[in-house]
Amino acid sequence: MRVLGIETSCDETAVAVVDDGVKVLSNVLSSQHEIHGRFGGVVPELASRAHLERLNPLIEEALAQAGTGWGEIEAVAVTRGPGLAGALLVGLTTAKAVALALDAPLVAVNHLEGHVYANFLEHGPPDPPYVCLLVSGGHTMLVYMPEEHRYEVLGQTVDDAAGEAFDKIARFLGLGFPGGPELDRLARKGNPEAVRFPRAMAGSGDYDFSLSGLKTAVIRHVREERQAGSETSPEDLAASFQEAVVEVQVQKTMAAAEAKRVEAVLLGGGVVANSRLRELMARAAQSRGLRLLHPSEELCTDNGAMIAAAGHFRLARGERSSFDVGVEPGLPLR
Ligand code: KG4
Ligand code: ZN
């Protein structure tokens, strides 16, 4: 089945054409980083307007790159939440119009499910059960999946999301937006043991995370040093901060995998593009004999292909969304 996937939940307008939930024919996106960069975060109204201007041409581009005509699109998958209401509305309304015009089924997808299914694009469907770590700009959670499309949230952040922490620290250090990729690049040249920042909730015995204390610790460290006239290099700071985030994520993911007795661990979300996260996760998984799956870097951050993939597997189960379906900015994973 050839599915058109549309994603507009945040600051990337993204469209893809995917065959059978695994074969990416095209995957194009228009990122709004240049619009939001100077504000240091996503401005919802500007995001909606940019989606509105960019989505139609992007759909044409996705079809052209896939070498497919409108008539060959068999279904339309679109994100309905979680995300920014106005931004979601642009994607969902467009998807409804396309589905209606083509007389094709519509399937409205949870964005987080998209991040999980990004793994299916390159590896094919793994055998459940698995444990999945979802780390993005808006979410940080550990999920147990006993079977496809069934989610048991084991734990999540009690304050900031991991990506949000990366973005805030990057902003504090005067780096660009989004901050994750810049910090990652800087950290590669730094010493992760230069400063021992707190590993928040590492010993809490549950699967929850907390990141706002770490953010405060980094800022306090820099201010105290400045007063004392000394300074840790930005590279060392970035590496030490990143290490504190990643170490707890690896530890909790492995603990969940062991407790749930799964053989596979899936990673999803923009922060999975982080090189240190992949490195430490791979090491930990290998030493435990676990299969580790993560999307390639460009499929970790928001894209249309992951939405098409998640939609495909729902459609294959006979699911369809009604044309009455609305956006749900706080849509939970269930
Ligand atoms: O999944 P995503 O594209 O959008 C949301 O659903 O939020 O994730 C975006 C987040 C941003 O906070 C960005 O800074 C972070 O992912 N990110 C990274 C890296 N690349 C993107 N964080 C750490 N290291 C990276 N290499
Ligand atoms: Zn995302």
Residue 267 has a pLDDT of 98
Residue range 272-294: mean pLDDT, rounded: 98
Q: Which helix (H) or strand (E) holds 73?
A: none
Q: Is 137 in the pocket of ligand 1 (CB under 6 A)?
A: yes
The band of 41, judged by pLDDT with boundaries at 50, 70 and 90, is: confident
Reduced to 3 states (helix: H, G, I; strand: E, B; else coil), residue 106 is strand
* Cα(315) to centroid(ligand 1), Å: 28
Q: Is 302 in the pocket of ligand 1 (CB under 6 A)?
A: yes
Interval 91-141: pLDDT, tens:
999 999 999 999 999 999 999 999 999 999 988 999 999 999 999 999 999
Atom of ligand 1 nearest to the CA of 185: 26
Residue range 286-312: mean pLDDT, rounded: 97
Q: Is 26 in the pocket of ligand 1 (CB under 6 A)?
A: no
d(CA 319, CA 329) in angstroms, rounded, equals 21
The band of 142, judged by pLDDT with boundaries at 50, 70 and 90, is: very high
Q: Is 47 in the pocket of ligand 1 (CB under 6 A)?
A: no
- The secondary structure of residue 323, as a DSSP letter, is T
Q: What is the CA radius of gyration of the chain?
A: 20
Put residue 272 in one of left, alpha, beta given phi > 0 → left and psi -120 to 50 → alpha. alpha
d(CA 215, CA 199) in angstroms, rounded, equals 11
Cis peptide preceding 105, ω within 30 of 0: no
Cβ–Cβ under 8 Å, residues 79 and 307: yes
Pocket of ligand 1, candidates 184, 301, 333: which has the most ligand atoms within 8 Å of its Cβ, to mutate?
301
* Cα(319) to centroid(ligand 1), Å: 30
Residue 7 pLDDT exceeds 90:
yes
Nearest CA to ligand 1 atom 8: 270
* Cα(91) to centroid(ligand 2), Å: 15
Q: Is 81 in the pocket of ligand 1 (CB under 6 A)?
A: no
Of the bound ligands, which one is closest to the alpha carbon of residue 139? Answer: 1
Show the tokens assigned to 6.
Answer: 């549309």
Q: Is 166 in the pocket of ligand 1 (CB under 6 A)?
A: yes
The band of 176, judged by pLDDT with boundaries at 50, 70 and 90, is: confident
Could you tell me which residues are beta bridge partners of residue 26?
17
Q: Which helix (H) or strand (E) holds 71?
A: none
Q: Which residue has the tokens 């939609």?
A: 311
Q: Is 295 in the pocket of ligand 1 (CB under 6 A)?
A: no
Atom of ligand 1 nearest to the CA of 162: 12
d(CA 197, CA 245) in angstroms, rounded, equals 9
Cβ–Cβ under 8 Å, residues 92 and 108: yes
Q: Is 267 in the pocket of ligand 1 (CB under 6 A)?
A: no
* Cα(72) to centroid(ligand 1), Å: 33
Reduced to 3 states (helix: H, G, I; strand: E, B; else coil), residue 133 is strand
